[in-house]
Amino acid sequence: MSTLAIKGGSPIRDAKTNPWPAWPVWDKKEEKALIEVLHSGVWSYNGPKEVAFNTAFAKFCGTKYSVCAANGTVTLQLALEALGIGVGDEVILPGLTWQATAATIIDVNATPILVDVCEDTWCIDPKEIEKAITPKTKAIIPVHLYGAFADMDAIMEIAKKHKLAVIEDCAHKHGGEWNGKKAGSIGDIGSFSYQLSKHLTAGEGGSLTTNNYELTEKLDALRNCGRRPEPINEEADKGAGVYSDDGNFYQSGNYRITEFQAAILLEGLKRLPGQNKIREENGDYINSLISEMPGIKPMKRDARETKKAYFNFAFRYHKENFKNLPIEKFREALEAEIGISVEPSYEPLNKCSLYVPLTKPSRYKLNEEYWNDINPARFKLPICERIYNEESICLHHKVLMGTKNDMDIIIKAIKKIYDSAEELL
């Protein structure tokens, strides 16, 4: 039995001499596009590349409209505002997601209702949504987390029955498909992030997708200091930057992106389908191997997920099969063997160090009742907590951009830890 890398043995992969694929991906095309923007002097405000990207991204998602905004946090906030959600309203979301999904709800003065997730997808559990609905409920925000898809059939049925809006948080899901429909085209609004770790990135940025013209008009205005575009499909889509001056504006701020970001996104979008395909092939391959190994389990791939868009590559750990080796030690050992960071899932939002609304009474203490309602600790999320504390293993999606041999290396590393777990106890 060879010594584990964490104990001074040779790693399965020396990432210094044999690095994993790089992220982000760019080449001369991005360079050229950025120089073009630089020389054009049109650095922001509905430049031709932003307009072209909106059109291309809407087409990619199979929606009628797409609007860019500053990031995937602001997109959620603007989606809530466009749907008229605010004081007195409740919004149901999964307890396992990035803090922004909940933080934007309190930022519009509504109440986040955290519910538990399915243990095999880590996405919101439709049964828990049903239990959480009250007369105050106005919307559901399913999050398509890491490699999985929330059960959009069940969610849309619940939404229809109770007349609720659905905002899909697609920060992890550019290009994923459910029953042949792209993420972001199923609910009322899709919200995307282009932050550096995302598989379509401009460093920062975001998009909102929808099929609804009125919502698009509002979203466009809300990201642009409240100026209503007029009309979206004709003048504004030509990049003319024509805005209504009939005095009928909205209150809002500046949440625009720059033309440099749009230039990078246009090039990235051309690469995305090919990259998603490689990630899908590698993800499915490694999951097929994982499903045969003791102590680890792949995330469930729902048969209705017709196209995968793996974000972080996630799988589940069960210490009982690893001689009770604590998950933290497993993660450290795997990291040492493969030379890439191995992380847990996001923290459950009822115990999340970055979702702490009660640290800001100046903003959120609207009244005693609201103050109590937004206390995250009031929600019980046993499955989210188990996932975070005991089961979740997440690797950056760049590992999925490698070869089959790279996938075998990960499996080999897991087997080595399995065989040598006692060394770490």
Ligand X SMILES: Cc1ncc(COP(=O)(O)O)c(C=O)c1O
Give yes or no for a contact between 239 and 47, defined as CB atoms under 8 angstroms apart: yes
Residue range at the interface with ligand X (CB under 6 A); choices 8-16, 65-73, 230-238, 319-327: 65-73
CB closer to ligand X out of 148 and 164: 148
Question: For residues 100 and 78, what is the distance between their CA atoms, to the nearest angstrom?
Answer: 12
Does 193 bind ligand X (CB under 6 A)? Our answer is yes
Count the residues of the shown chain that bind ligand X, applying the rule CB under 6 A: 14
* Class of residue 249 by CB neighbours under 10 A (exposed 0-12, middle 13-18, buried 19+): middle
The alpha carbon of residue 36 and the mean position of all alpha carbons in its chain are separated, in whole angstroms, by 30
CB closer to ligand X out of 72 and 283: 72
Give yes or no for a contact between 208 and 78, defined as CB atoms under 8 angstroms apart: yes
Question: For residues 58 and 252, what is the distance between their CA atoms, to the nearest angstrom?
Answer: 24
Does 201 bind ligand X (CB under 6 A)? Our answer is no
**Residues pairing with 392 in the sheet:** 316
Q: Which residue is nearest to ligand X (CB)?
A: 72
**Cα distances (angstroms) measured from residue 199 to each of 170, 306, 354:** 11, 18, 23
Does 72 bind ligand X (CB under 6 A)? Our answer is yes
Residue range at the interface with ligand X (CB under 6 A); choices 18-26, 41-49, 97-105, 245-253: 97-105
Question: For residues 422 and 425, what is the distance between their CA atoms, to the nearest angstrom?
Answer: 5
**For 83-136, where are the alpha helices, taking DSSP H only?**
100-107, 126-132
Rounded to the nearest 10 degrees, the angle between the axes of helix 259-290 and helix 48-61 is: 30
162 residue type, one letter: H
Does 171 bind ligand X (CB under 6 A)? Our answer is yes
Residue range at the interface with ligand X (CB under 6 A); choices 34-42, 94-102, 132-140, 220-228: 94-102
Q: What are phi and psi of 358, to 5 degrees?
A: -75, 0
Considering only residues 71, 201, 209, 275, which one is a binding residue for ligand X as defined by CB under 6 A?
A: 71
Considering only residues 6, 78, 141, 143, which one is a binding residue for ligand X as defined by CB under 6 A?
A: 143
CB closer to ligand X out of 42 and 69: 69
Does 151 bind ligand X (CB under 6 A)? Our answer is no
Structure tokens at 91: 């919004």
Quote the strand ranges of 110-247, DSSP E.
111-115, 137-140, 165-169, 177-178, 181-182, 189-193, 206-210
CB closer to ligand X out of 69 and 159: 69
Does 195 bind ligand X (CB under 6 A)? Our answer is yes
Does 176 bind ligand X (CB under 6 A)? Our answer is no
Does 101 bind ligand X (CB under 6 A)? Our answer is yes
CB closer to ligand X out of 35 and 354: 354
Q: How far is the CB of 204 from ligand X (least distance, A)?
A: 6
Residue range at the interface with ligand X (CB under 6 A); choices 95-103, 160-168, 224-232, 325-333: 95-103
Q: How far is the CB of 260 from ligand X (least distance, A)?
A: 16
Measure CA of the first residue to CA of the last residue in the chain; give whole Å. 16
Does 98 bind ligand X (CB under 6 A)? Our answer is yes
The alpha carbon of residue 87 and the mean position of all alpha carbons in its chain are separated, in whole angstroms, by 26
Does 169 bind ligand X (CB under 6 A)? Our answer is yes
CB closer to ligand X out of 173 and 218: 173
Residues contributing to the site for ligand X (CB under 6 A)? 71-73, 97-98, 100-101, 143, 169, 171-172, 193, 195, 206
